[in-house]
Amino acid sequence: MLLTSGALPSLDQVADVNVICGVLKDFLRSLKEPLMTFALHPAFLRASEIPDEAARQTALCHVVMKLPLANRDTLAFLVLHLHR
């Protein structure tokens, strides 16, 4: 509904947060390409294996910046939400 109409559904009546999480997981699974794209997947893996934390963070930031804008924005929103 959101992708086709642009209308935000009302979540006021949803009492179980697991329902919302399930819908989000289904949405992410249904994407033609993952948020962290197939092309950048090896770069994400290489960056995540860097032993030095500061270097790992820098490398991951560089790879994230290579993502398409929509993927980067969606990933940023999810990370900020999970951080809260």
The token pair that represents 71 in the structure block: 């993927």
Q: What is the pLDDT of residues 9-59, one digit of tens each?
A: 777 888 888 988 898 899 899 999 999 999 999 999 999 999 999 999 999
3 state SS for 3-27: HHHCCCCCCCCCCCHHHHHHHHHHH
pLDDT recorded at residue 2: 58
Q: How confident is the model at residue 68 (pLDDT cuts 50, 70, 90)?
A: very high
User: CA separation (Å) from 20 to 2, 64, 66?
Assistant: 14, 26, 29
pLDDT recorded at residue 3: 62
pTM above 0.85, yes or no: no
Q: Over the Cα atoms of the chain, what is R_g?
A: 16
Identify the CATH homologous superfamily for domain 2-83: Rho GTPase activation protein (1.10.555.10)
Across the chain, how many H-helices and E-strands are there? 5, 0
| Amino acid residing at 74 | T
